[in-house]
Structure 1
C-alpha cells in the first residue's frame, strides 16, 4: 500500500475550473499552479468562490468542467485533509476524535494512542484527552480539528477560515499550530478575511474574485503593490462584498 509521501502531488496544477449553482457561476475559469511548500492564503470577497474551490480540491465537490493535475497524475487517495470553519465532533472523547483520523490508514491501536497523545500535547489539549469533545470551547474545538488533521501527516492541508469568530488568544494559538504544521513540511491552503493574519502567515497570496484568480503574488508584493484594481480595493476596504454562497 502506498503512503501519502510515496504519491506524487506537486506541482498541483488547476486548469479552468467551472462550477455553477442556482444559475450563477461560482467558479468561472479558475486556474492556479502551486508548488509543494509554504502557506498560501486565499483572499477575496464573500461569494468569490474560495470555499467552493477548497471543497473541489479535497474532492467534496465535483466541478462542472476543468481538471486537476496532481504532480503529473490523478488525485491521490490519501494525503489531502480539510479543516472547516465549524468542525464536527463525534459524541466521544477528545482522544477518540483524534484517533479516528488514523483508522482509514490502518494504523495499529497502540500507535494510534501514542500518536494521538503526542499531537494533543502539541495543540495544548492533552489535559482534556478524556473529556467529551462536544464540551470544548470554540477555540479548543478548532485546535482539536487541527490535531485530527495533523495526526495523519498530510501533504496538503486545506483550512477554511479556521479562526473566524474566535477571541484573540484562540487566534494566536491556532496561528502557532498552523506555523508548526507548515514547518514539518505540510503544504497549506487557507482562506481568511483577516488581512493582518494573511500578512503574518502567508508566503504567497491568491486573490480571487467572481470565481477566478485575479492575482497570485508573494505576500509582501501583494500588500505593497497589488497588481489588480479589485485587489487594491479589497485591501483598502472599498470592494463591495457579495452575499456568501
Structure 2
C-alpha cells in the first residue's frame, strides 16, 4: 500500500479523551523513545489504543501536522501502529500474517528467533515467540510511530535485550516509540522522556 506523503514531525494529541479516561495532551517526537508507566488498570493501554484510533475517542490528533481525520483509518493505523501485549492471530500459519517474508526474515535472528518459525503454526508458538513476531509484523510496515504495550513482558533477559537493541536501531533511524513498561530499570535504559499516568492525569517524571 502506498502511503501519503506526510511531513516528518511529531505525533500530537490535544484534549484526547475516551468514555473512561482523559483528557490527555501529548506530543511525541520522531526518533525519541517515550516510556509510559503507571499503576495497572489506570488506562495506559487505552491511551495507546486511542492514539491508534482503535477505541472510540474524541480530540485532535495529528502526525507531522496532518490531522488524523484527513486520512483513512487503515492508513493512520499503519503510520501509527499499536502493538498489543497479546496480539491477535487470525490465520493458522505464521507466514500467512506477513505480506513480505523477505523483509521479516533477516529481522528474526535479531530478536533471537529462528527463521524456520515462519513455517510454524501459530499454536506451536510460545508466548514470547508470539510477542516478538507481532513486533516484527508491525516493524515491516515501517510505521512512523510504534505504540508498544509491554513488548518484552514475556521475554527472558537475553531476548528482552535483543528487542531493546532492535528498537534502539529503529529509533536511531527516526522512528518514534511510545513504550509502556512497569520495569524501572528498562525505563532508565530506554527513555528519552518518561511519562507517568496516575489518578491525577498524565505528567512527565523528572529526570
SS of match in other structure, 1:129: helix
- For residues 149-188 of structure 1, the aligned pairs below 5 Å read 149-188=138-177
Q: Distance in 1 between matches of 2:199 and 2:56?
A: 19
Q: Which has the larger radius of gyration?
A: 1
Partner of 2:9: 10
Query: 1:51 touches 1:160 (CA, 8 Å); kept in 2?
Result: yes
Q: Give the whole-Å Cα distance in 1 for the aligned partners of 2:152 and 2:101.
A: 28
Aligned counterpart, 2:30: 36
2:19 match: secondary structure: strand
Change (3 A) 1:211 1:135: farther
**3-state DSSP of counterpart to 2:67:** coil
Which residue pairs with 1:227 in the alignment? none
In structure 2, runs of 5+ residues without a counterpart are none
Aligned to 2:67: 74
TM normalised by structure 2 equals 0.84
CA distance 1:211–1:57, change in 2 (3 Å): farther
Cα–Cα, structure 1 residues 91 and 66, in superposed 2: closer, same or farther, change >3 Å? closer
TM-score, structure 1 length as denominator?
Answer: 0.72
In structure 2, do the counterparts of structure 1 residues 42 and 128 end up closer, same or farther at CA, with 3 Å as the change threshold? Answer: same
C-alpha distance in 1, partners of 2:155/2:116?
21
Report how far residue 159 of structure 1 moved.
0.4
CA contact (8 A) 2:8 2:64 kept: yes
Q: Which residue of 1 aligns with 2:116?
A: 127
Structure 1 gaps, min length 5: 100-111, 222-245
Is the alpha carbon distance of 1:70 and 1:185 closer, same or farther for their aligned partners in structure 2, counting shifts above 3 Å? Answer: closer
C-alpha separation in 1, matches of 2:27 and 2:102: 37
**What residue in structure 2 maps to residue 205 of structure 1?**
194
